[in-house]
Amino acid sequence: MISIEDLRLAVTLARSESLSAAARTLNVSPPALSMRLRKLETRLGLTLANRDARRLSLTADGERFSRESALLLEQLEALPESFRQKDETLVGTLRLAAPFGYGRQRIAPLLARFAKVHPQLRLHLDLRETPWPDRHDSDAVIHIGHLNESLWTARPLTPNERWLCASPAYLHAHGVPSSPDELASHRCICIRENDEDVTLWHLRKGQGRKTLRVEPAL
């Protein structure tokens, strides 16, 4: 197996006038370099260089091996850069899943602007009632509520609060509740998300918190 160090050795030999000069470039002793060269020649079954105490010259096989080594090293050095987009434009496909309402009002306009900045990027937005957990084929899922799945990385996008509201006609007919406990006797409209228990409400006022179960209106 030819190593990167073998390639560098061949390139250095081609650029050096003597074995001692090549050893100084590679920061090794001349005897150590001579041993590395012999091992490489044995591995290849070729004579790469003619050397004596003062002069070093490559054979025809040595010159060819040096040229090929230089090309390989250049390709290896350029490999990371070849994967970078020069203009930082994104390419490929991005798949997103989001709830219907939030996806239409918040995500779709953002994606429209994002697509103009990255025209080579294909965007897929899948809107559905429960984007989680049935959209594991997506790159990102917009989820409303608590996430129990530990294999995904969650990032909060924005607070999601619910406000207690009632029409004037309902309050006139049934009265205004004076405490959260009285909500249990009222007919409540519950918004279902992600198949969660919509009758279990978590109320907060200042630093106080209360959890109660309500009766949904039929």
pTM: 0.47
Report whether 156 contacts 144 (CB < 8 A): no
Task: Report whether pLDDT(169) > 90.
Answer: yes
Question: How confident is the model over 40-65, as a mean pLDDT?
Answer: 85
| Fold matches, 4-82 and 86-158 | no
Report whether 39 contacts 3 (CB < 8 A): no
- pLDDT 10s digits, 183-193: 888 888 877 66
Separation of alpha carbons 15 and 8, rounded Å: 11
H helices of 86-196, in order, are 100-102, 108-117, 131-134, 168-174
The interaxial angle of helices 4-14 and 60-82, nearest 10 deg, is 120
pLDDT for res 57: 86
pLDDT for res 150: 58
CATH of 86-158, one of 3.40.190.10, 3.30.1330.60, 3.40.50.1820, 3.30.1330.40: 3.40.190.10
CATH code for 4-82?
1.10.10.10
Query: Domains of the chain: which residue ranges?
Result: 4-82, 86-158, 168-216
Rounded to the nearest angstrom, the gap between the alpha carbon of residue 191 and the centroid of all alpha carbons in its chain is: 34
- pLDDT 10s digits, 109-150: 999 999 888 888 889 998 887 766 655 678 888 887 776 665
pLDDT for res 217: 60
